[in-house]
Chains A and B, each alone.
Chain A
Amino acid sequence: MLDILLPILIFAALALAVIGAGRRVRLWRQGRPAQVPLLKGLAAMPRRYLVDLHHVVARDKVMSNTHVATAGGFVAAAVLMILVHGLGLAEGVLGWLLLAASATMFVGSLFVARRRRHPPTRLSRGPWMRLPKSLMAFSLSVFAITLPAVGLLPEDFGSWILALALSAVLVWGLGEMVFGMTWGGPMKHAFAGALHLAFHRRPERFGGGRSTGLKALDLDDSEATLGVETPADFTWNQLLGFDACVQCGRCEAVCPAFAAGQPLNPKKLIQDMVVGMAGGSDAAYAGSPYPGKPVGEHQGTPHGPIVAREGKALVDAETLWSCTTCRACVEECPMMIEHVDAIVDMRRFLTLEHGNTPNKGAEVLDNLIATDNPGGFDPGARMHWAADLALPLMADLQQVDVLLWLGDGAYDMRNQRTLRSLVKVLRAADVDFAVLGNEERDSGDVARRLGDEATFQSLAKRNIATLAKYRFQHIVTCDPHSFHVLGNEYGELGGHYRVYHHSTYIAELYEAGRLAFRPWKGGSVTYHDPCYLGRYNGEFEAPRNVLRALGIEVAEMARSGFRSRCCGGGGGAPITDIPGERRIPDMRMNDVRETGAELVAVGCPQCTAMLEGVVDSGAEIRDIAELVADALVEVPGGRGKAQARPARPLAEEVV
């Protein structure tokens, strides 16, 4: 009887899955067009899955082994099942292989079941709780029906009741694993995820690459809606990416806004986009909600607004404005979903079309438009902090080795101390450098993260035009945000530069023997990785090398390196200032306290401001440039060069 039933069941499930796939593809194709090399992407997909995705999954060893066993067992079992039971090719080794595959899958599903016994809060429940049972139903029933096929059991073993019961279990397994893959349910992640990897919007991320710069918005078409208003305004491969989410909640676990009790949960946001893409309410969502926002009050449609001007739609505006763009969620996502891109896309609509940037947002943007700096300061006062330093100007020199990009920290009295230290270090190493002076403008970082792409592009184009007037080898800056924007985001607008963060540059100067330090005599030190230096640009080592050169042994925080916790200062978050239950910088200083460090070394004006703003912190905040400047001693035997250029003393007291 099974001989007749099995092919029918298998091919019926496959046919239904194909229909479901068509429906799912239709949902994704509601999105805007995107240029994606389809065949190349499909060809690259297995490698992206087996290498790049597995790299991220493997950060959790148990889970990654579980997934290898379950997913690998399932794929093999499914293919072999079609051959063995669908087409009746049970002879030879195929049947035995199928037994092995389904057994492997069963072992994997035991681990899945163990994990679901006491799931951590970041995991979604709901349909996901039945997944281990479904996995077992499939693997066990396939194993059982294969036993007679390889001759381990007689063909007519058991009664027709047993056969019917087995078929029922198999129907459950097929329903979840094959039908559910395209019609919705936990296994949807396998189908959507595979295609998402193939048609990813940032293919540069695969093969060890890095792609973190926001993509430019086309401002030429004056009739087009700017940014994303409705779910259908995302590009189709973004929608596909949302659909790939496995709701593992790794993003939720690392999100600083979520931890601070601000109304953002990256996982919920992605699920809301899935809800919007298909149309409906978020009531079926079974994970942690946005803090302070109960599930079930929001709904959306593919062509309806995501954020309502008044009242509720799919997502509330403050959810989008809570994000610090720290990129921890993107870094952590095993499906390589691009949360930050989606958030900025939606912010673009709110700012450019609604004119609804919250709190100080509008004022900061107006300042950027009128004065080229977010504080609304006189552009002619940009160099006042360096009135006594006689800094060489690009306009005078025209050509230097290093262009020192000051950033808007030039107006901030705290950051001016960092800048003065950096100048002292550069002079001690006899670096040929100059500044743009009053010709410099804001890099556009804040404008862009607040969604004001128009102001960003205006600032960027004018900065690029200014930089094009002069000749320099590279740009050095102590602001990771400027570093990121100049290095990764100006390229799309025609500005290509080699940009160094000052920690990288100081590390190189030290390596080259152009700097010497007196040994560190202070207490214990920890280092805070700025998001825009670390996760955005992969620079984790240079600052630590500098600290090591200073004789400092870094007492690392539990969350450091690529898992560093944001200071709360990115993405315009201090400007939009969405209230939460805690402050993000307070949590970061608690991380510092756990190390027992008396001093936090930082490399970012934003981080300095945010962490220094914590009351009763107990640890001092110093920029790496300040630590280096304080430790400078004359390079032994390196006097020859200085005598050649007596006009400029090697080191002078500027701080």
Chain B
Amino acid sequence: MRPDTHDKGRLAVTVLVSVGRHPLTGRGRRADQDARGVELARALADAEVELLHAGRLDAGSEAALRGYLGMGFEALSLLEQPAGADVLPALAEALEAAGPQLVIAGEQAEQGEGSGLLPYLLAERLGWPLVSGLAAVEGVSQGVATLLQALPRGQRRRLKVRLPAIVTVDVAAPAPRQSAYGPARRGRLDVQAAPVVPDDDLARWQAQPARKRPKRLKIVKAASARDRFKAAAAKAEGGGGQVLTDITPEQGAEAIFKLLKEEGVLR
């Protein structure tokens, strides 16, 4: 990361990329959401895009990381981190040093902890705003980005966010371009020194394979074709729920806490 090399007027974008895992075979690959993040960055006019990965470099992860290089990059910065390290400090320091205007990340990793919390922790630590579920970056002018956020059922919300900011993408973002073998093979993996902080919490946790969670059944009692269509198009959801608006963060947290208690998640 060379902060002084940023061109004036060009938008400095860093995409956080991780090593994905194919759901059927478990083989390493470009993580789908991260690749969509890269695609989003590629589509930005006049942007200087950097790829950043924090993790181990071995045969398996190298092939996956080169998948991102195959989308048309000469280099990828790699902060080497051993297994069981907390990558947050390393990423935060690298981002602070490089000073990008926009950081793009996938919503959730395909392997490892996969909690989806990293972008939030990063935003908290850097003190930057975070926008999730991005569908498009519509434009950037004078330090303010116009973003299009994807909401359920195809709805979109336009947001203006002061940069620097972190945005995360999920499947609503454009599909990634094909990764080409030649550029992937020729691209460089720039290994950079980074602080290694062991993840003490993780070390204390006990991991076990996840069980499939039961799905709420959708009961269709349709009398007409129109009803059947509506039922088919609707998402399964609980009948309850409420929308809270204009409340303080404390009240919001209280409401979430109460719900988690009710659902038996917290005891």
Contacts and interface: CB of A to CB of B under 8 A. Distances in A.
B70 interface: yes
B186 A362 contact: no
Contacts of A379: 24-25
A355 B180 contact: yes
B24 A355 contact: no
Given A222-B186, A223-B186, A370-B27, A354 B180 contact: yes
A371 B180 contact: no
Contacts of A365: 178
Query: Which of A354, A370, A378, A452 gathers most chain B CB within 10 Å?
Result: A370
B78 interface: no
A355 B179 contact: yes
A353 B183 CA distance: 6
Contact of B181 (A226, A356, A361, A377): A226
Contacts of A454: 181
Contact of B25 (A226, A352, A355, A370): A370
A369 B30 CA distance: 12
A225 interface: yes
B218 interface: no
Interface string A361-392: 11001100111100011110000000000000
B54 to A, nearest CB: 24
A357 interface: yes
Contacts of A225: 182
A259 to B, nearest CB: 30
Interface in B165-182: 177-182
Contacts, number: 54
B53 interface: no
Chain B interface bracket (under 10, 10 to 19, 20 to 34, 35 or more): 10 to 19
A355 B67 CA distance: 11
Contacts of A455: 181
Nearest to B72: A355
A371 B24 contact: yes
Nearest to A377: B24
A351 B180 contact: yes
Contacts of B76: none
Interface string B53-95: 0000000000000000011100000000000000000000000
A539 to B, nearest CB: 34
A455 B182 CA distance: 12
A353 B178 CA distance: 10
A371 B22 contact: yes
B185 A353 contact: no
A355 B29 contact: no
B65 to A, nearest CB: 15
B185 A355 contact: no
Interface string B24-45: 1101010000000000000000
B181 A452 contact: yes
B78 to A, nearest CB: 19
A366 B71 CA distance: 13
A370 B182 contact: no
Contacts of A222: 185-186
Contacts of A361: 178
A370 B180 contact: no
A371 B23 CA distance: 10
A353 B182 CA distance: 5
A353 B72 CA distance: 9
A349 to B, nearest CB: 8
A247 to B, nearest CB: 34
A357 B72 CA distance: 15
A225 B177 CA distance: 20
A95 B25 CA distance: 80
A369 B24 CA distance: 12
A366 B180 CA distance: 11
A378 B29 CA distance: 16
A352 B184 CA distance: 9
A503 B185 CA distance: 42
A370 B24 contact: yes
5 contacts: A352-B182, A355-B177, A366-B29, A377-B24, A379-B24
Interface of B: 22, 24-25, 27, 29, 70-72, 177-183, 185-186
Given A369-B27, A379-B24, A454-B181, 6 more contacts: A353-B183, A355-B70, A355-B183, A369-B29, A370-B24, A372-B25
The 6 closest A-B pairs by CB, nearest first: A355-B180, A362-B178, A355-B178, A353-B182, A370-B22, A454-B181
